[in-house]
Every structure is written in C-alpha cells, then in structure tokens.
Amino acid sequence: MDIGNTNIVVGVHDGKEWIAHWRLSSSRSRTSDEFGIILGSMFQAGGVDMKAVKDIIVSTVVPPLLVPLCNMCKRYFGITPFVVTSNCNTGLKLDYDHPNEIGADRIVNAVAAHHMYGDKGNLIIIDFGTATTFCALRPDGEYLGGAIAPGIGISTEALFQKAAKLPRIELIKPKMAICHDTIHAMRSGVIFGFVGQMDGIITRMKKELGGQAFVVVTGGFGKLMASESELVDVVEPFLTLEGLLILHKMNRKQ
C-alpha cells in the first residue's frame, strides 16, 4: 500500500504476479472504518478474498493517514503492517545529509529500480506524483539524492485558481507548441513545459554522474511525459508496488 498526497495505491500480489490493484483518494478526513469499507468493496469487486491476505507493507508521505490506515489493516485484515522508513533494510547506501527526510516513496522507487535495472549503470528515477521527484543512484546502490519539483497536477490547479480567466483543463497532449486557443495553449505550456523541465534535469544529472545514466520514469503522468522525450529509457507504472514487494521480502520474517 502506497499512501501518497493525492492517491492511495493498493496492490495484491499472489507470490507470482499482481492480481489486483486499485487507487483511492487520500482523504485525510476518512476514518479507519471508512477506509476498510471502501477497500472491502474494491476487494469484492475484484474477486479477491480479504481473508487470503497474509501480510501488508505500507509506505507513506502523509503521516496523518498512517494511523487510520494501520488501524484499518489491524481491524479488517487482522494484520499489523510493516511500515517503510529510512531505517529499514533497503540494500541501499543513503548518501543524504538527513536520511530520515527522504520520502518513503523515493526510497521504495530506488529499491525497485536498483533491483530491476542495477546492471544498466547509473540510474535516474523520475516519479510524476503530487510532486515530481528525481533521484540518482549509483550501480552499487548508493543513493545520491536528487531534486523535487512541484507536480503537474498541483501546478495546473494553481494556474486555474490564481488566474481568473483561465479554465480548469484536462491534460491532453496538444499537436503543436504554438496553439490558437486558450485551452490548447495551456496544455502546450504545461505538458511541453514539464517535458522541458524533465529533460533539463536529466541532462544536468547525467553530467554530474559522469555522462551516463539509465532513466526510469513512473507515476500518473509518466507515460505522457516519456512519450515526448528522447532521454527516457523505460516507463514502469508499477515501480512503487514492485519496490514494496522487494522490501517486504527483505524485511519481513517468513
């Protein structure tokens, strides 16, 4: 279970493959019972028996949601979940001034990328979430840190809220950068602007890493952004869930 600022992503793995995954909003006003009822409905709709769940691992960047969701796990699954922190066994060397400040999502993504693509050399991992995060990783698992930028969704929403005449828009890739109406012009500015940001940071990071890096992209807008860039090597929509699965195997006693 990955608890983000905007969404909570839940995945069920049967030991061989992901058999179900869902996304629900990260409402801070929901109680543990509300989360339990919502998840129960999702499990039922997906044909998955809640009683078949043997263990749960959680990562969160939203501390206020950790308690109600952990309580939900105990009450509705009968399981005390394992919570990812910078102190758990990750297999990484955290070269960071204050490791406890690293978001759990960044750690989880780094673990997954290292296990999946560690043989590719230096890694740059980009996650398009509420914030857009960039992480750099050496082949030996040394986590070097990275960059954090405002996310695409909140940036677009801020534009709508602060500019009286600009409407709320759906993010669809425009055909051209030069657009002849306001909605398409906004789409051009947001999408091509963030692609430019991504490519610019990738280029700078590659230079700092010695010139070479394999670029992994994930997150809600990852596929859209990667489609406009020649610097992205692979898109992994389930990178965070894969990282949680790996961390579970590394930290839970079987």
Residues forming the annotated binding site for substrate?
96, 103-106, 182
**Torsion angles phi and psi, residue 27, rounded to 5:** -75, 120
Enumerate long-range contacts of 43-48, CB under 8 Å, 24 or more apart. Answer: 43/12, 46/12, 46/20, 46/22, 47/20, 48/12, 48/19, 48/20
Write the DSSP symbol of residue 84: -
Q: Give the helix/strand (H/E) hosting 214.
A: strand 214-219
- Taking alpha carbons only, the member of 144, 229, 237, 240 closest to residue 195 is 229
Q: Give the helix/strand (H/E) hosting 137.
A: strand 131-137
Let me know: does 71 contact 46? Beta carbons within 8 Å: no
Let me know: does 154 contact 5? Beta carbons within 8 Å: no
Catalytic residues: 105
Binding-site residues from annotation? 2-9, 96, 103-106, 127, 130, 182
Binding-site residues from annotation for K(+)? 127
- Taking alpha carbons only, the member of 9, 127, 129 closest to residue 58 is 9
**Rounded to 5°, angle at Cα 115 from 61 and 145:** 45
For residue 124, the cross-strand partners are 136, 215
Token pair belonging to 97: 């001034």
